């Protein structure tokens, strides 16, 4: 079991940490890596910007595959579409939910959900939002032939019907507490039915159309170069009427190039889903302001080959016990991370806080090399290498892999790496062919809302995230999904957390705050995880 142990670390891990400190704090500073942050008091918003702005230039770490929200499973996609396509519910900067395109939600029985749709909302083309558009947007994500990346949230949906001009009724096959919460994520984003049907597979691509209701509209997608948005002067929510006239996105993948562009003012901002090697340069810059926000994000090693060494629970447990998470937080994340004993951290405890806090306290982060060695011996001391995918152009991936390799070496495991280009790395999540020849990959993953069950349901054997077919909590997950009472659900989810943390279908490493960098001429972008699903740029304004 992965339980608290006395504090000590293997000499090889300490040596690896020293090597990384010397060689990869990556020539950005001669000082000891790590920033002085209060990780218990992370931001949700940034200083208000009050002045009109002609244009804000934002950077993405890669070019999106599509802006159709049903394919918005990754960071760059959602960073853009959060300002374009609104959901039935809205995630607030403090990680709660409020009404969005639905003014209210009622549940007359355990398997019936009724949404009252906001009146007076129009798409960018001036057409009114109707219940038919909502029913279509949800309905195209249901059934066995759906291609949505949000399909796991729709598995229990039986039907979606417009039951009035501004009313949509969802019938469930069985109770499912995650579906209603997912309506505050891109899973609940609404598009115009007529536009989507007219464009077919081209909808949301550089060659197609997109019609949504958000505070910005899509004006131009120059494939390979930029995406351009414009203020929507007819936006329904006056409190979020943009001060920015034009929002343009570039696609600078190389970290050092992006950091330099921020420092020189060539770009005005970026959300880093992993802290860049030049973070200290940004932190000390006179040009930009850096904020660290509340987050559901965690850094993990996901085993993906049930037939390889990581298919053996003893080997997973041994590797987890050998990893020095404190070294990863300090050396790899430059102090901008929290060592993670479980996959889900406190920011995602949207209910049952006392129950989750008690369950969380059972687990620790200190390594135990001797116990890890014994587990390797009990597993027959396998000689087959463990091959981990490392994302190209990512110092965080590379440095984490170096420490994992050192941990493996310390306990007799051969850990090797294979670099996957950043443009192809997202395929590992959904394409079995992309995972061939690999045993695991590093991933920044997250809950989509403040319920730990949203993550732990990944490990039901029917879920697409359960890459190794781990089935240690299927019954508990099924019961929790159908439990509407939050206190009872918290107890069930705490039990699931125990099983997942002991079985390690994914190996938790760190909790990651959001890293937001803005040019000092602007401010007020959302600093928390809510930026992925709510219009984070609508609040940006100029600073006098």
Q: Which has the closest alpha carbon to 540: 196, 53, 6? A: 53
User: Is 179:454 a contact under the CB 8 Å cutoff?
Assistant: no
pLDDT at 337 over 90: yes
SS3 state at 394: coil
Q: At what angle do helices 395-410 and 313-322 cross, to 10 degrees?
A: 110
Q: What is the pLDDT of residue 14?
A: 36
Specify the pLDDT at position 394.
86
| pLDDT reading at 33 higher than 60 | no
Residue 140's pLDDT band (boundaries 50, 70, 90)? very high
Which pairing describes strands 216-222 and 167-172: parallel, antiparallel, or unpaired? unpaired
pTM score: 0.88
Residues 355-411: tens digit of each pLDDT: 999 999 999 999 999 999 999 999 999 999 999 999 988 889 999 999 999 999 999
Tell me what pLDDT residue 35 has: 67
Residues facing residue 57 across a β-bridge:
248
Q: Residue 5: is its pLDDT beyond 60? A: no
Among 35-44, 55-64, 102-111, 336-345, the least confident range: 35-44
Does pLDDT of 29 surpass 60? Answer: no
Q: Which two tokens stand for residue 186?
A: 């891109």
Helix (H) or strand (E) holding 27: none
Q: How far apart are the first and last CA of the chain?
A: 56
User: Could you give the domains of the chain?
Assistant: 53-68+210-293+519-542 (3.40.190.10), 296-511 (3.10.105.10)
Instruction: Give pLDDT tens digits for 58-93.
Output: 999 999 999 999 998 889 999 999 999 999 999 999
524: alpha, beta or left? (left if phi > 0; alpha if psi -120 to 50): left
Please answer whether residues 524 and 49 qualify as being in contact, where contact means their C-beta atoms are separated by less than 8 angstroms: yes
- Report the C-alpha gap between 4 and 203 in whole angstroms: 51
Say how far apart CA 503 and CA 495 lie, in whole Å.
Answer: 12
pLDDT for res 37: 74
Task: For residue range 221-266, list pLDDT tens digits in order.
Answer: 999 999 999 999 999 999 999 999 999 999 998 889 999 999 999 9
């Amino acid at each position: 079991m992965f339980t608290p142990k006395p504090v000590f670390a293997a000499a090889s891990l300490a040596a690896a940490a020293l090597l990384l400190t010397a060689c990869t704090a990556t020539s950005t500073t001669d000082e000891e890596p790590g920033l002085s942050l209060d990780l218990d008091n992370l931001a949700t918003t940034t200083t208000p910007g009050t002045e009109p702005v002609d244009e804000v230039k934002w950077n993405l770490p890669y070019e999106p595959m599509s802006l159709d929200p049903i394919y918005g499973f990754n960071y760059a996609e959602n960073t853009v579409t959060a300002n374009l396509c609104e959901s039935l519910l809205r995630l607030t900067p403090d990680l709660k939910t409020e009404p969005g395109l639905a003014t209210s939600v009622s549940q007359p029985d355990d398997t019936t959900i009724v949404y009252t749709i906001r009146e007076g909302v129009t798409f960018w083309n001036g057409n009114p939002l109707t219940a038919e558009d909502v029913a279509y947007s949800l309905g195209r994500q249901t059934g066995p032939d759906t291609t949505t990346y949000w399909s796991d949230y729709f598995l229990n949906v039986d039907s979606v019907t417009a039951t009035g001009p501004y009313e949509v009724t969802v019938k469930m096959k069985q109770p499912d507490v995650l579906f209603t919460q997912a309506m505050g994520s891109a899973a609940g984003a609404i598009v115009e039915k007529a536009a989507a049907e007219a464009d077919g597979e081209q909808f949301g691509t550089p060659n197609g159309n997109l019609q949504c209701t958000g505070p910005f509209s899509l004006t131009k997608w120059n494939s390979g170069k930029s995406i351009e948005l414009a203020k929507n002067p007819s936006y329904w929510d006056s409190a979020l009427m943009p001060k920015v006239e034009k929002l343009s996105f570039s696609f600078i993948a190389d970290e050092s190039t992006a950091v330099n562009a921020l420092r020189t003012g060539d770009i005005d901002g970026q959300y880093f889903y992993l802290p860049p090697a030049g973070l200290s340069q940004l932190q000390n810059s006179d040009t930009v302001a850096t904020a660290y926000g509340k987050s559901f994000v965690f850094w993990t090693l996901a085993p993906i080959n049930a037939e390889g060494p990581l298919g053996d629970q003893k080997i997973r447990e041994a590797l987890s016990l050998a990893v020095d998470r404190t070294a990863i937080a300090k050396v790899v994340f430059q102090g901008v991370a929290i060592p993670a004993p479980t996959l889900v951290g406190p920011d995602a405890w949207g209910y049952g806080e006392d129950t989750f806090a008690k369950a969380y306290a059972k687990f620790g982060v200190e390594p135990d090399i001797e116990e890890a060695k014994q587990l390797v011996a009990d597993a027959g001391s396998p000689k087959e290498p463990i091959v981990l995918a490392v994302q190209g152009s990512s110092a965080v991936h590379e440095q984490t892999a170096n420490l994992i390799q050192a941990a493996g070496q310390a306990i007799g495991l051969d850990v090797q790496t294979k670099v996957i280009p950043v443009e192809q790395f997202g395929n590992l999540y959904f394409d079995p062919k992309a995972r061939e020849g690999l045993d695991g990959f590093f991933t920044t993953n997250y809950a989509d809302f403040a319920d730990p069950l949203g993550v732990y349901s990944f490990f039901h054997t029917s879920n697409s995230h359960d890459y190794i077919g781990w089935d240690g909590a299927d019954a508990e997950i099924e019961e929790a999904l159908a439990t509407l009472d939050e206190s009872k659900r918290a107890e069930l989810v705490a039990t699931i957390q125990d099983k997942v943390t002991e079985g390690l279908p994914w190996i938790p490493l760190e909790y990651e705050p959001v890293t937001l960098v803005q040019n000092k001429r602007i401010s007020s972008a959302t600093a928390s995880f809510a930026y992925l699903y709510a219009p984070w740029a609508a609040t940006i304004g100029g600073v006098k």
